[in-house]
Structure 1
Amino acid sequence: MTPKTFFELKPSGSRTSTGGVSPLGGEYDEYLQGYDVPRSQNGSETRFRTTGTTEVPPESLFYPPHNGNGRRAGASRSWWWAEIASVAGSIAAMVALVIVLALFDGRALSQWNFFIQPNTIISILVMVSKTSMLLAVSACLSQLKWKHFHDRPRPLNDLQIFDSASRGPLGSLYLMGNLRLGAVLAFFFAVVTTASVAIDPTAQQILQFPSRITKLENVASKLGVAEQYSSRAFRNKYPESDASRISQANQKHLHEDFYLEYFNGDTLLLQSSLLNAIFGSIPEPSYSCPPPATSCSWPDFSTLGVCRSYRNLTEVAAPACNATSSNDKSPTRNLTCMYDYHGRNRSEFLVDMKWNLVAKPGPDGKMQGYPADWTWYQAMSTIHTDKFGHQTLSMTSVKMLNGNSPVNGKTPPPTEMLQSDWYLCEHTHHGATIDSGRLTPGRVVSAPLTPLRNTTVPASNMGAGPGGLYDESFVTYRADGGTGREYTVGQYQFSRLYAFLKSALDNRFGLFDNATRVESGGSLGALLPMGYYMNLTDHAALTGRVAEGVSAQMRSKTPAGDNDELTMLEGAAFRAETYIHVRWPWVLLALIEVVAAAVLVTVTIFITRGQPLLKSSVMALLLHGLDGWEEEGKAGSLETEKDLEERSKGMTARLCEDDNGWLRFSKSF
C-alpha cells in the first residue's frame, strides 16, 4: 500500500473475524482485547482507517484475536498482578511498621531484645514499603502514556515526559510542570513519586529516645529520721565488755571504765564533725539510695532537730564602760566596757571588751586617745536549763569595727553586737529527694518544741547489760506549733553536746601586752585560731551552720552519725531510663503515600481496562511506530537528545488503528 497522511478517523469496510495470529505470538494476542469497536449489521467489526494507506509488511501485521461471536475477548487482568502484589507488599510493610511502633511506644529501650536497633527496623520497613509502592507507580505512569495518546492527539514529546516521570522524582517534577491538567491522573502519580523523596528523612524522625524516671518496685530507699536522740559520743552507760568486772564492784576497774566510756572514738567523730560545720562543711543525715536507683524520694516527714535564732543587737546594746589610768601623768589609760541589752536572759554571760588607750595628736592637733592594746572580738556562750531539764544554748558576741577611731571619755570605739540562740525544734520536710547521689532536703518548716515532762531512769535500768553510770533524765517534748508529735531527748547527753559547743565558741581575738602578743581563741586557742576566724566570718551563716550540723548528727548513726536510736524512713527509689517514644505525625507522610498510591493504582487499572497493557515496553514503541510522516519523520545520524525533543514538540499524533488494525502513532493536524 502507498502511505497516506492521517488527519481524521473514518469507518472502513467491515472485516469478519479471521482468527489470525499475531507475529508477536500469544502474549501479544491480548493486546487489544476489550476495545469498544463499532460493528456492522452482520456482526463484523467496523475498522478505523487513515485517509491514506500505509504500506505494512505482511510479516508485521497484527491481527487482534476474536471470540466466537465476532467480539474481542476481554482484557486479561494477569498483567496487573505484579503491581497489585507490589501495592499489597507496600501496605503490609506499612501495617507492620505501625504494629511495631504501637507495641514499643512508651516501652523502655532495655526491653528491645532484638540484635537490630529500632531505627534499623523502621528503615527496613519504610524502604520495603517505598520501593514496592514506586514499582507500581512507575508501571502505572508508563501505562498511562498509552492512554494519553489514545484519548486524543498529543505532541510526541509527551512520550518522553511520561517516560522520565516513570523513572524518578526529577522526571515527575518535569511532568507536573508541563502537563498539569492535561493528564490529571499522571499528575497525581508524579506528586506521589516526588513526595517519596521525603519518606526516608521523615522516617528518621519517627523515633525519639528521651529519658524518664521509673519507680523501682524491688528497691527501697531509706532516710534517717530522729524521733528520739541517744548520743553515741556522750554515753551514760558502762561498757558491756566490762560487765563482769563491774558486777564484782571492782572500784579500780570502775574508775578506768568510766573514762573509757566518757570519751571514746565516737566522741572525736562528733566533735570534729561539729567543728567542720562551723568552718562550712556540714555533714549529711544517714540515707540509702542503692543502685540501680539514680534518685529517691520520701513522703513528707517530721524529725527532731536544732534551730537557731539570730539578732543584731547593735542598736539596743547598752555598754557600761569604765576608764582608769595608773596616774594622772600617764599617757595611757584603760577602757573596759560590759555589753548588755534590754531583754537579756539574766543567766546569760555578759561580754566585756578592753582597750588600752594611748594619747596621740588628732587631726585637729589636740591630744586624743587611740587604742594601743585592744580586743577586736569577744564571744561568750551560756547554757540555759529550765525546770524540766530543757536546755538551750546562746552566744553573744561583740566585734570592734574600726581600731583607728579616737576614744574620748567613756565612749567605746565603734562596735557591733550580735546574739544567737540554739534550741530543740521539729523540722518538717516537704519533697526531700536524692538525685545523682546528692540529698536535697526540700522545703523545711520548723516549729519549736515545748517540754512536757522529765522522766528519770535509774542507772540500773539504763538499757542492756549492767546499766548506766548514774541515773539519767529524759525530757519529752511536743511540737505544739507543728505536727503535735512528741520527741524524747536525754538531758545528760544533750548537755554535753552543748558544753562542747560552748567551749568551741567562747573566743577572744585581740592584741595585748603593747601589741606584742596576739590572742586568738578560747579553750581551743592553742590549736585553732577560732577567735580570728569568728571575727572575720558572717555570724548569721556561722550560727546557722552550727544548727544544721547538730541536726544532721541527730539524724545519723554509725559509722559517722551520733544517734543510736535513729529511725530509717523508707521511701521510693527511681531510675532514669531511656524509653522509646513514637512521634506519630512523622508517620503520616509514609501512610498517605501508600494509601494514595493504592488508590491511584486501582483507578489506573479501572480506566485502562480493555486497553493494551504495554506499560514500559520498549518493543511496543518500536512496533507501533509513526504513521503519516515521510521524510520529516526520520531522524538524522548526528542528532542529540535536545534536537529530538525540539522536533517532537511539533509532531502531534494519536494512537489508533490503521486499515489493518495495527496501532500506530498517526499524524494529526
Structure 2
Amino acid sequence: MMTTHGLDGQNTTPNRKRKPFMRIWAPEILSIILSVCLVAAIITILKVYDGKPQPDLGSSLSLNGLLQFIITIAQFSFSYSLARGLGQLKWLWYLPQDPRPLRSFEAYDEACRSSLGSFQLIFRLRGSGNRNRLVTQIAAIVLTSAILTGPFTQQALTFDTNTLSPSSNGTAVVKRTTSLSRTTNGVFMAEDLDLVSIRSALFQAVNDGPRLPITPLSPNCSTGSCSWEPYTTIGVCGELINTTEADSTRALLYRDITMAFLESFFTGFWLTIPEGPRRETLSSILKSLSYVLIQGSVDQRPGQEAESITRATMTEFLIAYTDSNVDMFTDAKKTNIQHFHFLSMRFFFCTKTFETRVTDGVAETRELGSAIQVKASTVDTLNSAWNRDMGGNGTRNPSSLCQDVVLNQSLTLAAPKAWDDGRPYTIDACTGLMAGAELSASGSGLVMYTEAGYVTNTGILSAAVSLALHGKPVGRKIEPTMQWKSMQILVTNIADSLTNMIRENAHSFVANDGIVEGTAFAYIPLIRVRWWWLSLAIVQVILTAIILSVVILLTSNSDIPVTKDSSLAALCAIDSDLKDELGPLSDIADMKERSKGLRARLARTDGGYQLCSAGSGPYPTEEDVTTFSVVGEKGGIRRVRSF
C-alpha cells in the first residue's frame, strides 16, 4: 500500500504519536531562560564592581573580556530562539486562505540564517495578515539588532581616571611629637644636635620673618595626594604683649630692667674699653643720634599668672625700643627711659592640632587650634630662670643641675578641647628646660642703628626684632600698626619654626608616638557603569521571550506541526504543482526569476499540510478556487482551497 507524507511527517495509515507540545519547544525556552540569566549576571557583576577598581581576574582575563564572553553567549541564546521562532512564523505566514508571494518563503529562510536576511525581511513581506506581519517584523528587528548587542554592552563599562581612590601601595605619613624627652633609664642624654636644631629653627624664623610665614612641616605622601585626620602634637606657642602704657607688675619690671641695662652698658661696657681707635669709633657712634633696641630675657616672674602659663613657659623676652633717634650719651646715659616703648615676647610649650592634605603634590597643613592646658606636672616651670628647684637664679645651663635636681620630673599637656582624645602629651623637665635655656640665650642683646654705623651685641633674634621695628634703611619711620603686625609675624614664625623642629625630631625622642598614618590616594581607574547601554540587551531578551510565546500560542491554535526552520520540512511541504512551476534545479537565477510571480498557501491535504501553488499574477478569485473536503485528524470535516 502506498504511503503519502505531508508537512507534519505523518503517514496516513499508521498514526504516529506526537511528542508533547512543550517538549518540542524546550530548546528555545531553555535558551530564553539562559539569556535572561546571563543578562541578569551581567547586571549583577557590574553592580558589584561599579565605582571600584578593576578586579584581578587572572593574568589572561579582564572584566571586559568576561562581560564580552557572557554577552556573546546571551546573544547566541536569544538569537537561536528568535531564528527558530521565525522559522515557525514562516509556516504561519502561509496558513491564511489568502495566498502569499512565494518569495516570502525564501525571505524567511534567509532571515533565519543572517542579520542581513532578517533586515531584508522587515521590508519584503507582502499580503494581508497584519498580526503575523507585525510579529515577524518585530522578530526580524530584534534579530537584526543582535549584531549590536556586544558593542552596546561593552559601552556600559567605562573607567574613570579622574577620581582619586585609596591606594594600598601608597605611603601617607606625617610626624608629630607626643613625648618630648631625652631622659632614658634615669639618665638625661642631651644631644649636641638638639642645640643645633634649635638654632637652625631660629635662623629660619629670622631669615623668613617678618617677610614670609613659616611653612609647616611637610608630610610624606608617595602618591602626591593624601589626607590625614586631625592630629595633635607638642609644639611651641608665642605671645606678644604691648606693655608701654601699662601699670602692671610686668610693665614696672620692664622699666627697671631697662634702666639697669643702660647703667650697666656704660659702667660695665663703655668704661671698660681702653683708649684707642676702637673707643674713638664707638664714641663717634654713640654721640650720634640712633634707633635703640634692647632685648633680654626676663629672669624674674612678672607677677601672678595662670598656673598652666607659668609652668609651660620656655622663656620671656623684654623688648625696649625707640621709634625716634636718641642721644645715648645724654638721654640714655641718664637712664631717661621716656623715649622707650616696651613689648613682651613670650614662648610656651603647648599642644597644636593640625589638619594636613596633599593635593597633586602640593601639601597644605592648617592649624586647627592650640592649647596651653596642664593636665599634670611635677616640675615647677620649664623656664630655667624661674625654676625654684634650680635656684631661680636665671641660670642658662640647666644640664649641669638637671641630673641632680629635676631628673624624672615632667609636665603633661592636654590637646585642644575640640580634638582632645585623652592622649597625654608629656614634656620631660630636663629636655624642656634645656630647650628654654637655649632659646633665652639666643635672644638677648643690644642693637643701635646710627648714621655713623651699626652697633650690635646681640643673639640671633635681636637683629630680626630690630628689623621688624625699625626697618631698613634707618631713619624711615614705621607706623606703629605696621610695627605691631611685623612683630606678630615674627613671633608666630619663631613658634612655628620651633614646632617644626620638635616634630622633625619626633623619631629620636623617648617613648614617642611619632608617626601619624593617613590615607594615600592615587588616580586608580575606577569602573563606571553607564546603565543605559544595557537597555538594548534587556529589551532584546524581553522581546524574544514575548515573540516566542506568541509563536507558540499561534502554533498551538493553528494545529499545524512544529517544524520551525527545518529544511527537510520545506522539501516535504512543496506540492508537485508548485515544483513544476518552479522548474528543474538547473540555474538558481532562473528559478528565482520564475518564483517572482508565484503565490502559495499552506493547505491541509491527505498527506498533511502542503505548500500549494496559487498560480501567478493577482490573487485568485472565487472562480479559481476548487473546494474539496478532507478528513481531519480528529475525524471532522475541514474545507480547504486548492488552486
Q: Please tell me the TM-score bracket, short chain as reference.
A: 0.5 to 0.7
Within 5 A, what are the aligned runs for 1:217-232?
223-226=175-178, 228=180
C-alpha spacing 1:148/1:508, structure 2 compared with 1 (3 Å): farther
Residue among 498, 502, 524 paired with 1:550:
498
Q: CA separation in 2, counterparts of 1:228 and 1:398?
A: 39
Number of the residue aligned with 1:133: 78
Question: Which of these residues, 355, 359, 369, is aligned with residue 445 of structure 1?
Answer: 369
Other structure's SS at 1:150 match:
coil
Distance 1:220 1:480 in 2: 23
Alpha-carbon distance in structure 2 between the residues aligned to 1:532 and 1:471:
39
Change (3 A) 1:633 1:111: closer
The amino acid that maps onto 1:444 is L
Residue 597 of structure 1 is matched in structure 2 by 544
The letter of the residue matching 1:118 is L
2:554 maps to which residue?
Answer: 607
Corresponding position of 1:32:
8
Conserved? CA contact 2:295–2:317, under 8 Å: yes
Q: Does residue 65 in structure 1 map to residue 11 in structure 2?
A: yes
Contact in 1 for aligned 2:52/2:526 (Cα 8 Å): yes
**Counterpart-to-counterpart distance in 2, 1:379 and 1:616:** 111
Structure 1 residue matching 2:234: 3-state secondary structure: strand
SS at match of 1:225: coil
Superposed displacement of residue 495, structure 1 = 3.3
CA RMSD of aligned residues (A): 6.0
Please give the per-residue CA displacement for 1:569-617, whole angstroms capped at 9, x wherever unaligned. 6656667676667666655543443344244334424433533616263
State the partner residue of 2:3. 20
Note the C-alpha offset of 1:548: 0.9
Q: Which runs of structure 2 are paired with 1:294-333 in the superposition (5 Å)? A: 295=226, 297-298=228-229, 302-309=232-239
For the 8 Å contact 1:65–1:73, the answer to whether it is kept is: no
Deviation at 1:666, TM superposition (A): 1.8
Partner SS for 1:269: helix
State the percentage of identical aligned residues: 17
**Equivalent runs, 1:393-472 vs 2, <5 Å:** 393=317, 421-424=345-348, 426-429=350-353, 431=355, 441=365, 444-449=368-373, 453-454=380-381, 468=402, 471=405
Name the CA distance, whole Å, in 1 between partners of 2:3 and 2:531: 58
Q: CA deviation at 1:421?
A: 3.7
**Following TM superposition, by how much is the alpha carbon of 1:534 offset from its aligned partner in structure 2, in angstroms?**
9.3
Quick one: structure 1 residues 638 and 162, their matched pair in 2 at CA, closer, same or farther if it must change by over 3 Å?
Answer: closer
- Corresponding position: 1:383 with 2:297: yes
- SS of 2:74's equivalent? helix
Change (3 A) 1:631 1:110: closer
Structure 1 gap ranges (5+): 1-17, 23-28, 34-63, 240-260, 318-339, 353-372, 401-416, 460-464
1:656 to 598, 603, 619: 603
Partner Cα separation in structure 2 for residue 534 and residue 131 of structure 1? 88
Alpha-carbon offset, residue 129 of structure 1: 1.4
Task: Please list every run of 5 or more consecutive structure 2 residues that lacks an aligned counterpart in the other structure.
Answer: 263-287, 302-309, 325-340, 382-386, 392-398, 473-481, 621-643
8 Å CA contact retained: 1:293, 1:573: no
Which of 127, 133, 149 in structure 2 is aligned with 1:199? 149
Cα pair 1:32 1:75 within 8 Å, conserved? no
The SS at the match of 1:131 is: helix
Q: Is the CA contact (8 Å cut-off) linking 2:202 and 2:497 kept in structure 1?
A: yes
- 1:664 alignment partner, SS class: strand
1:392 aligns with 2:337: no
In the alignment, structure 1 residue 186 sits paired with structure 2 residue 136: yes
Distance of 1:420 and 1:152 partners within structure 2: 114
Q: State the one-letter code of the partner of 2:544.
A: A
1:467-478 alignment, distance < 5 Å: 468=402, 471=405, 476=411
Equivalent-residue separation in structure 2 for 1:79 and 1:127 (angstroms): 25
| Residues 93, 551 of structure 1: alpha-carbon distance in 2 compared, 3 angstrom cutoff | same
- TM-score (normalizing by structure 2): 0.58
Q: Counterparts of 1:585 and 1:652 in 2: how far apart (Å)?
A: 45
What amino acid does structure 2 have at the position aligned with 1:274? L
**C-alpha displacement at 1:155, in angstroms?**
4.7
Structure 1 counterpart of 2:196, one-letter code = L
Distance in 2 of aligned mates of 1:476 and 1:129: 73
Deviations 1:110-137 (A, max 9, x none): 6534531121111111112112321331
Q: What does 1:41-440 correspond to in 2, within 5 Å?
A: 65-68=11-14, 74=18, 83=28, 86-87=31-32, 90-91=35-36, 93-94=38-39, 97=42, 109=54, 111-113=56-58, 115-153=60-98, 155-156=100-101, 158-159=104-105, 162-163=108-109, 165-166=111-112, 172=118, 175=121, 181-207=131-157, 223-226=175-178, 228=180, 264-278=192-206, 279=208, 282=214, 295=226, 297-298=228-229, 302-309=232-239, 345-346=251-252, 347=254, 381-384=295-298, 387=301, 390=313, 391-393=315-317, 421-424=345-348, 426-429=350-353, 431=355
1:653–1:130 distance in 2 versus 1, CA, 3 Å: same
Once the two structures are overlaid, the 10-residue window that deviates more, 528-537 or 87-96, is 528-537
Structure 1 distance, partners of 2:141, 2:447, is 88
Aligned length: 507
C-alpha separation between the residues in 1 aligned to 2:55 and 2:70?
A: 22
Alpha-carbon contact 1:226-1:303 (below 8 Å) kept: yes
Matches within 5 A, 1:564-583: 566-568=512-514
Q: How does 1:481-500 map to 2 (within 5 A)?
A: 482=417, 488=427, 492-499=433-440
CA contact (8 A) 2:442 2:459 kept: no
Deviations 1:214-245 (A, max 9, x none): 6979x99674234556699xxx9887xxxxxx
Cα distance in 2, alignment partners of residues 525 and 394 from structure 1: 12
Q: 1:443 to 1:621 in 2, by over 3 A?
A: farther
Which structure has more strand as a fraction of its residues?
A: 1
Distance in 2 separating the partners of 1:664 and 1:224: 96
Distance 1:269 1:110 in 2: 48
Does the aligned pair in 1 maintain the 2:350–2:370 contact within 8 Å? yes
Cα deviation 1:400-451 (Å, max 9, x = unaligned): 9xxxxxxxxxxxxxxxx99784432644526556788887555511234579
AA paired with 2:537? A
Query: Contact (CA 8 Å) 2:225, 2:357: kept in 1 or not?
Result: no
Answer yes or no: is the 8 Å Cα contact 2:218–2:363 preserved in 1.
Answer: no
Amino acid at match of 2:440: A
Q: Secondary structure at the match of 2:236?
A: strand
| C-alpha displacement of 1:664 | 1.8
Residue 514 of structure 2 aligns to a residue whose secondary structure is: strand
Output the TM-score relative to the length of structure 1: 0.56
Give yes or no for contact 1:67–1:73 (8 Å, CA) kept in 2. no
Q: Which structure dedicates a bigger proportion of its chain to helix?
A: 2
Distance 1:620 1:629, change over 3 A: closer
Deviation at 1:165, TM superposition (A): 4.3
Tell me the amino acid that sits aligned with residue 601 of structure 1: L
CA-CA distance at 1:271 after TM superposition? 1.5
Structure 1 counterpart SS, 2:495: helix
